[in-house]
Amino acid sequence: MYQDEKLVCEDCGAEFIFTAGEQEFYAEKGLVNKPKRCPECRKNRRSNNRRQRRMYEAVCSKCGAQTQVPFKPVPGREVFCKDCFSKEQPAE
């Protein structure tokens, strides 16, 4: 039913193969357009689009170590370093 197809990347101009397996996957997901970028350019585009998380300096409430957290620390609320945070979490 599906056959491998040669496509040209619109970003870098390289040829790449849109495999029969990929075509089947696209069809299962209801995707009707063929990929316009080669796998490498798709990967680069995804990584460039990811939001870079801002980190804030803080002092661990438990051990006093300097650490970075992905949220703005609020005075009066505890902040833990990665090690202390993982020790506080219940075992699964």
Instruction: Copy the structure tokens of residue 91.
Output: 């075992």
Res. 91 pLDDT band, cuts 50 70 90? low
Is there a single domain that holds both residue 10 and residue 44?
yes
Regarding pTM above 0.85, the answer is: no
Is there a single domain that holds both residue 36 and residue 9?
yes
Is there a single domain that holds both residue 42 and residue 9?
yes
Which of 4-18, 26-40, 76-90 shows the lowest mean pLDDT across its residues? 76-90
Question: CB burial class (10 A; 0-12, 13-18, 19+) of residue 44?
Answer: middle
Q: For residue 30, what are the domain limits?
A: 5-49
The counts of H helices and E strands in the chain are 3, 4
- Per the CB < 8 A criterion, the answer to whether 60 and 80 are in contact is yes
Instruction: Copy the structure tokens of residue 4.
Output: 């491998």
Is there a single domain that holds both residue 44 and residue 61?
no
Does residue 33 have a pLDDT over 90?
yes
> Strand (E) positions, the chain?
5-8, 15-18, 56-59, 66-69
Res. 48 pLDDT band, cuts 50 70 90? confident
- What pLDDT sits at residue 3? 96
Mean pLDDT of all residues belonging to the chain? 91
Q: Provide the domain count of the chain.
A: 2
- What pLDDT sits at residue 12? 96
For the segment 48-64, the average pLDDT, to the nearest whole number, is 86
